[in-house]
Structure 1
Amino acid sequence: MLDRKSFFEKFSIEEEYFKSTGLDWDELVKIHDDYLALVPSLEKVADKFTFQLIDTKTVHSVRRRVKKPAHLIEKIIRKGKKYVDRNISVKNYKEIVTDLIGVRVLHLFKDDWIDIHNEILKYWSVAETPQINVRPGDYNMEILKETMKNLNCEIIVREHGYRSVHYLIQTQSETGEKLFVEMQVRTVFEEAWSEIDHIIRYPYDVDNPILNDYLSIFNRIVGSADEMGTFIKNLKPAVSENMEYFEERELDNKFK
């Protein structure tokens, strides 16, 4: 049984704020208990996504998580009006809350993403147009749009430097209920910045100007690291070819 007082204390929720959302606590308890029973099934669904993607050639690693029951209720309360407007209840919360399952796919080089994108669309149906989140200055927007026009993706410019490609995938539970999976695809450098940014800024320093300035500098360094990785990847064939040429010349000189 979800205890209201201890729950509010744990997540720093004021009684006055909760009342202002218009949410019904008894209905939240029903959602919590229903979801608690659903979690083992969601774990299996999350594992299937991992197993399907992990052997993709350009995938470095896959992380997955199933939202914890208490965190589900905390999110519904935190975004109260959004969910009240959609009449959230134990009957429909699985369709309304789209990140009960989250999957994160990491790759090494920026252009590896396209192969992963094609694999995702081959295996699953997307419920929304995939979003490519970029940082201002990362690309020439006209060139990027031209490159991406056949991939049916939406380009979103994030002022604070967030980079990732987002997918909302429609699937179902073991019992046939409609579910959504939120999938993010990003480089290992982007993942490192995102994790550090989250730990440093959330939940209490989101608008701290000093931290934001330094995290912005860090973000630019991450972008440069990704560009350097791509440059070295593209440089390798030419370097290898030149090495073979010089090795052959050296052998020729030895036998003259």
Structure 2
Amino acid sequence: MSVPSVTIVVINHDYERYVGEAIRSAITQEPGGYRLTDVVVVDDGSTDGSEYVYATFPAARVVRQPHLGFPTALTRAVTEASGEWVALCDADDAFEPHKLRTLAPVLARQEISFIQHAERVVDFSGRLFVKDTHPGGATSTLVMRTAHARDLLPVTNELFFHVLADLGRGAVLNDPLTRYRVHAGSMTDRITPGVFAEYMAHVCDDVAARLDALTSSPPAWAQVAELDRLRNTYRDRAATYRADAIKQIERGVLR
């Protein structure tokens, strides 16, 4: 059996303060049971000092694009991967050094296309923000089989890749293998009532539309009936998020 290969892709826009830690955590992964083919940085039009940080990591390949937003950068991250698996990392997060070594036995399982693992939540300075670990689910806690992730492109956010788990091709690990950073400059507004719920409603709509498109030419890992069922599930989720957004706005608080 061949050793599974992995590409790590760091996605950055104006996170000069944090991106060096993210890249370092990628290129210094402990060996064991996998092959790290490359470390890629997708720079989404940064205008801060990120370029100077990249220059200190010649082992990382930097792919630059104009500032097109997270959906385009996330899509580009998957298309740039050369490994059988792609591990994503937001530039304000970082991997634990044993992440890929821990995941290696799961990467070797042919029936698995999607891995989600737990995370430690830290503050802007890297100190533990909450005592307990979080189950993950966001970008930096996901590793996908590259070919199958590409079937879902273009994507709006990482929820698209959860489709692989929804269809029975996922594995969940309780090991906290990412340091997820909470800080004032985080991308998504989770404070203003209704904003995040409405955002997630739009994402679910987009996932449903992608699943609908896939039914005309289903990938090898899914059947038409499964795609139809899951499309309807995401449409229902969109409606639930939209109703929740309305309630939050009416109350003026997050539920």
Same fold flag (TM > 0.5): no
- TM-score normalised by structure 2 residue count: 0.28
> Which structure: greater strand fraction?
2
Which structure has the larger Rg? 1
- TM-score normalised by structure 1 residue count: 0.28
